[in-house]
Amino acid sequence: MKHSLVIGQRVLRELSKDKRLFGLSIVGPFILIYFLKIFIDSMPPYFPAARYAVPFAAFIVHFFSFILCGIVLVEERTAGTLERMFIAGFSRTAIIGGYVFGYFGLATLQATVVLGETLWLLDLDYGGTTLLLLFVTIVMLSIVSVMLGILASTFARHAGHILPFIPLVMIPSIFLSGLLIDPEQLPTWAEWIGMLLPFRYANNIIQELIGSTFEASVVYRNLLILAGYICALLIIASRTLKEAD
Amino acid sequence: MNAISITGLVKSYGKVAALRGIDLTVPQGTIYGVVGPNGAGKTTLIKTLVGVVRPTSGTARVLELDPLNDKWALRKQIGYMPQDAALYETLSARDNITFLGRAQSVEGLDQKVSEVIAFTELVSRARDPIHTFSGGMKKRVSLACALIHQPKVLFLDEPTAAVDPQLRARSWELFRKLAQGGTTLFISTHLMDEAALCDKVTILNQGKILLVDSPRDILNRGKTRLSVTSRDQCSQTEIESTPEAIAQKLHEFGLPNDISSVEVEPSTLEEIVLEIIREEPQ
């Protein structure tokens, strides 16, 4: 735990010193949300803006956390700093934990910016509990993204190798997780694939929360599934993060 | 006690054999050089000893510990300086050293960081980000990172490759100071003049040890071309490189018989260049 905090602190320090990367990871989502607003403004008045906008905001955080963590960890590997961390005495679990802590900080900031901007631009109004649960959902989703990034980085020899994981891991979430269409309208095999994608459960929570009333059991069940993803990915990532060739 | 002992070490990557049955021992407190061309297996050997490469067969012990099975006990006692600097470019030298020091839970870390910064002569640049450093300066930061927990054995993978002669000479002064303090240094290099500064040298080629000896004894295996000119007559001959062989040959040209050895040690080009730099007023 102590070592994870040391690594998390270092990741945050690096991100704060790399003003370009830090700026882009905040400004990038900010601009995308504005594009979303322009798109929604062009829709007919009865278009359900919240049904698409809020999950899309969550997807942006999901996407950026995955890409950033994956690329930075591949860079650690190619620069030799990952190997050096192992030799210096950091364990695999400490390294993964450190990355989660580090990116948790960034994801919290991203979630605040993205959610705040979406609600402000689209003039959406929710109660305190709903807002808190939306925020928790996005942050939990970003932790899943960090784990996926760590996992993807173990199969990559350089940063460019992370790119093929975008169509493999990220893009299917748009079509199969209920972001654009109800998963029940999909062919059975596609629905099954969608059930494997963590974004589906984040979307389930968001759709439940933005309705006029929400069923707490549905929200907590899906939050529990996201927590399960975090645990499962933590175990898989700690096994695939190779210490010795 | 030997700091390092290796028996029958083999490492293969598929059909490619990187190490082919290495046997060697390194006494404590020595500077041990592994010399060989690129691809000889030097880095693989070092990585096996620090526990990030799993050997295909054979055994390796560092301070009598297995690099893989006793990794937690071992990593407290070894330092590793990789071939590339392996530093966080946006962080300062001090931050990099502190970060790796925290991995070992070094007591009085701030004080220790200041000490290694002073030892590696980085005081004036300690708070600057690494991306503003030259290659040689980065190597020094990397060395400081390897030294922060005062390791008993230090593995240095080509520590002065692509470093200017002045900094290289200074680095070797630091290495010698560490060895005098009891640290064992295991250094890989492809620079032969650097190998001459080690206490013992192993010549590695294509994953096999060709020779283990002191640099002096390796030099003695060479030949000396001796040219003696007397009354416009030049006599050229090739003799053994030992001081005794040179004296014996010169006896034929009138060197008194009571002189039993002759040694000529001209400055190297590097030494001459360094001297010129030193003489230049700052």
Q: Please tell me what DSSP assigns to residue B125.
A: G
In order along its 245 residues, chain A shows pLDDT tens digits of 888 999 999 988 888 888 888 888 888 888 988 998 899 889 888 888 888 888 998 998 898 888 888 888 888 888 889 999 999 989 888 888 888 888 888 888 888 888 899 989 988 888 888 889 999 999 899 889 888 888 888 888 887 888 888 888 888 888 888 888 888 888 899 889 989 999 999 999 998 888 877 788 889 999 999 999 999 988 888 888 777 67
Helix axes A81-88, A92-121, angle to 10 degrees: 130
User: What is the ipTM for the molecules in this complex?
Assistant: 0.82
Give the residue ranges of DSSP H helices in chain A: 2-17, 19-41, 49-79, 81-88, 92-121, 128-153, 165, 171-176, 188-196, 198-209, 216-240
| Token pair recorded at residue A126 | 């929710």
Question: Regarding beta strands B2-13 and B57-62, do their DSSP bridges make them parallel or antiparallel, or are they unpaired?
Answer: antiparallel
- Residue B252, CA distances (Å) to B223, B235, B256 in order: 18, 11, 9
Contact in structure between A145 and A137 (CB atoms under 8 Å): no
Is the pTM for the entire model greater than 0.80?
yes
Q: Using the beta-carbon criterion (under 8 Å), do B76 and A10 form an inter-chain contact?
A: no
Give the residue from B39, B282, B33 showing the smallest Cα distance to B155: B33
Mutate to test the interface with A, among B45, B48, B52, B145 (most CBs of A within 10 A): B52
- Residues A60 and A66: their CA atoms lie apart, in Å, by 10
Cβ of B104 under 8 Å from any chain A Cβ?
yes
Interface subset of A 65-84, CB within 8 angstroms of B: 79-81, 83-84
Note the pLDDT tens digit of each residue in B90-148.
999 999 999 999 988 888 899 999 998 988 888 999 999 999 998 888 999 999 999 89
Mean pLDDT across B24-38: 91
Cβ of A89 under 8 Å from any chain B Cβ?
yes
Q: Using the beta-carbon criterion (under 8 Å), do A89 and B75 form an inter-chain contact?
A: yes
The H-or-E segment that residue B217 falls in is helix B215-220
Contact in structure between B160 and B106 (CB atoms under 8 Å): no
Contacts of B85 in chain A (CB under 8 A): 80
Mean residue pLDDT of chain B comes to 88
Contact in structure between A193 and A171 (CB atoms under 8 Å): no
| Coil/strand/helix, residue B187 | strand
Helix axes A81-88, B93-103, angle to 10 degrees: 40
Phi, psi (deg, nearest 5) at residue A194: -60, -35
Q: Please, which pLDDT band fits residue B282 given cuts at 50, 70 and 90?
A: low
Phi, psi (deg, nearest 5) at residue B183: -75, 140
Residue B270 has pLDDT above 70, yes or no: no
Mutate to test the interface with B, among A87, A90, A95, A243 (most CBs of B within 10 A): A87
Mean pLDDT across B47-70: 93
Search chain A and give the residue with CA nearest B145.
A88
Per-position b or e across A64-85, b if 16+ CB within 10 A of its CB: bbbbbbbbbbbebbebbbbbbb
Note the pLDDT tens digit of each residue in B74-87.
999 999 999 888 99
Give the residue from A104, A108, A142, A148 showing the smallest Cα distance to A11: A104
Give the residue ranges of DSSP H helices in A80-127: 81-88, 92-121
Cβ of B56 under 8 Å from any chain A Cβ?
no
Give the full edge-to-edge strand order of the sheet including B57-62.
B16-27, B2-13, B57-62
Cβ of A158 under 8 Å from any chain B Cβ?
no
Contact in structure between B153 and B187 (CB atoms under 8 Å): no
Cβ-nearest to B86 among A17, A80, A244? A80
Count of A-B CB contacts under 8 Å = 69
Q: Please, which pLDDT band fits residue B6 given cuts at 50, 70 and 90?
A: very high
Query: Side chain identity at B282, as an amino acid letter?
Result: Q
